[in-house]
């Protein structure tokens, strides 16, 4: 489990399935495993997932970027 702080965070769990929670601020999540999960609460900034696997955005995450 990776937990960001009150500022802008970049979270990458690395190998294996991870829970990524950004907290307040504009956060970027790097998703590279289908088992990864992101968690955001309402009103916690503009958040983005950069995924190298097929991905569906969770609640309160505003942007998805797909790459290989």
Q: Which residue has the tokens 């399935």?
A: 17
pLDDT for the residue 14 = 87
The tally of domains found in the chain comes to 1
Q: What is the DSSP letter of 46?
A: -
Domain that includes residue 10, residue range: 2-66
Buried b / exposed e across 31-55, counting CB within 10 Å, b at 16+?
A: bbeeebebbbeeebbebbbbbeeeb
Could you read off the pLDDT of 4-63 as tens digits, one per residue?
999 999 999 888 999 999 999 999 999 999 999 999 999 999 999 999 999 999 999 999
């Amino acid at each position: 489990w990776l937990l960001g702080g009150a500022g802008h965070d970049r979270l990458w769990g690395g190998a294996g399935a991870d829970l990524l929670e950004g907290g307040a601020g504009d956060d970027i999540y790097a998703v590279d495993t289908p088992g990864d999960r992101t968690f955001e609460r309402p009103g916690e900034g503009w958040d983005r997932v950069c995924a190298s696997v097929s991905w569906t955005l969770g609640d309160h995450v505003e942007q998805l970027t797909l790459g290989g």
